[in-house]
Structure 1
Amino acid sequence: MKFIDTKLFEIENSTNFSLKVKIIHGKKLGRKLNFPTANFDFKDIVNTPYYGVYAVYVLYDNEKHMGVMNFGTKPSFDDDSVNGEVHIFDFDEDIYEKEIEIFFVEKLRDQQKFNSLDELKAQIEKDKLKALSILKSQD
């Protein structure tokens, strides 16, 4: 098992940390909530205090996109496998098996378990609006 080097992974407030990841097929849970996500695997990285939801920039095919990312487990689905998923705003391309680079901008909140899909969907919408506000202020 790998652990994230906390000196390298300083994202509590805001940094220039990025990850290059290959997009994999997920369970399509985000799509069911009208927030399709690009999924990537973190099965070797566990026990990190950095699980949570982040405002991010995504670099794909030399173009920068805004997004919101969940990094960690899926407590609302009782899924403790570690992964990442990013909802890229205004983006509709097939990027399975392609590489993207994700730039962490700001942590929005810690992970939490929701009592219903409607509650989760409402929170994702709030996360998206907050991420947009943060990212637009940096452009």
Structure 2
Amino acid sequence: MKIIKNLHDYHEKTPLALSIGMFDGVHRGHQTIIKNLNSAAAHKGLESAILTFWPHPRTVFSPNDDLKLLNTIEEKTYLLEKNGVQHLFLKEFDEEFRNLTGEEFVKQILVEKLNVRHLIIGHDHTFGKNRSGDFKLLQKMAPDFGFEVEQVEAVDFLDTHISSTQVRNALTNADINAANEMLGYHYSVSGEVIHGKKLGRTIGYPTANILVNRMKILPKNGAYIVDVFSEEQQFKGMLSIGTNPTVEGKSLSVEVYILDFDSDIYDKKISVNFREFLHNEIKFESLEKLIERLDEDKRLTENFQF
């Protein structure tokens, strides 16, 4: 996949089948758009492309919102390439760009810069200043500018449209199964293993502290069954998100106890896939009660069918 980080440096005239959007999570709704995109490209002799934005427009319009995302830019790039996209345009959502009207965006960006011949958008997609661009505008402009436009209907899950917001809501409610169903894959986080307080090893449960990208959304505080991937090997794990209230912890941490594992992985990167919610964060009355719960969590993790 070709990655173009600056549209000003892009001067190719390759005719494209393109879709526009944040594609945060690259969930099943996005995957349907990409499937149609690839199909249209193959049928019409075009190359498939995605135009996405960084940072997220909401961070520009509402800078005080603490927006967390499903994907880092690296994760999104990987997922789009995995789904067969041939070109990825990463456009900075700057002042100049956000002030383009819908018509200016179509003419200057889609037609003159990107040579779009087939455009696919989601069921509720709008663009341009004050959301002045929509499917009706595209239908109106398409004949004059030599491209075709297609709108893809939403994909539903449990009577609701799948969206990045719905996936985020499921994660913050610890509904891992719903989040994974909507994504079409297991939600994951990754990061470098850093030094912590090393309290876990004193009670027989040494954990790896993961430094997670601050833009990534974390599921609700609590304990989870996870897959752990370290140096191309896969293990079962029990992951905790929280402040360790039993030992009067203050700061949020992401720690994973890896079953049947005894290697030094400090400063190395590991990834975890969320598989099942175990329980909310608990403040135990004693370390003995904490160990009892950890023993039970370990039993449930060992018996979980991965």
Q: Which moved more, 1:70-79 or 1:109-118?
A: 70-79
Question: What residue number does 1:68 align with?
Answer: 238
Is the Cα–Cα contact under 8 Å of residues 4 and 48 in structure 1 kept in the other structure? no
- Please tell me whether residue 89 in structure 1 is matched to residue 276 in structure 2: no
CA RMSD between the two structures = 2.4
1:8-27 paired onto structure 2 within 5 Å = 8-9=167-168, 10-11=170-171, 12-14=175-177, 15=180, 16-27=186-197
Question: What residue number does 2:210 align with?
Answer: 40
Number of aligned pairs? 136
The alpha carbon displacement at 1:42 in A equals 5.2
Q: Distance in 1 between matches of 2:229 and 2:207?
A: 15
SS of the residue 2:300 aligns to: helix
- Bigger fraction of residues in strand: 1
Q: State TM-score, norm by structure 2.
A: 0.41
Q: Distance in 2 between matches of 1:119 and 1:69?
A: 18
The alpha carbon displacement at 1:48 in A equals 6.7
Q: Distance in 2 between matches of 1:44 and 1:101?
A: 15
Question: What residue number does 1:58 align with?
Answer: 228
Q: Distance in 2 between matches of 1:43 and 1:61?
A: 19
SS of the residue 1:23 aligns to: strand
Specify which of 170, 174, 199 is matched with residue 29 of structure 1.
199
Q: Which moved more, 1:32-41 or 1:94-103?
A: 32-41
Question: What residue number does 1:80 align with?
Answer: 250
Q: Which runs of 5+ in 2 are unaligned?
A: 1-65, 71-164, 181-185
Is the Cα–Cα contact under 8 Å of residues 43 and 81 in structure 1 kept in the other structure? no
Aligned CA distance change for structure 1 residues 49 and 23 (closer, same or farther; 3 Å):
closer
Q: Distance in 2 between matches of 1:43 and 1:101?
A: 12
Question: What residue number does 2:268 align with?
Answer: 98
Higher CA-based Rg = 2
Aligned CA distance change for structure 1 residues 95 and 69 (closer, same or farther; 3 Å):
same
Aligned CA distance change for structure 1 residues 4 and 111 (closer, same or farther; 3 Å):
farther
Q: Which runs of 5+ in 1 are unaligned?
A: none
The alpha carbon displacement at 1:41 in A equals 3.4
Q: Distance in 1 between matches of 2:273 and 2:219?
A: 18
Specify which of 107, 110, 119 is matched with residue 277 of structure 2.
107
Is the Cα–Cα contact under 8 Å of residues 43 and 82 in structure 1 kept in the other structure? no
Question: What residue number does 1:130 align with?
Answer: 300
Aligned CA distance change for structure 1 residues 48 and 57 (closer, same or farther; 3 Å):
closer
Question: What residue number does 1:119 align with?
Answer: 289
> Whose RCO is larger (CA < 8 A, sep 6+)?
1
Q: Distance in 1 between matches of 2:249 and 2:213?
A: 13
Q: State TM-score, norm by structure 1.
A: 0.86
The alpha carbon displacement at 1:49 in A equals 6.4
Is the Cα–Cα contact under 8 Å of residues 2 and 44 in structure 1 kept in the other structure? no
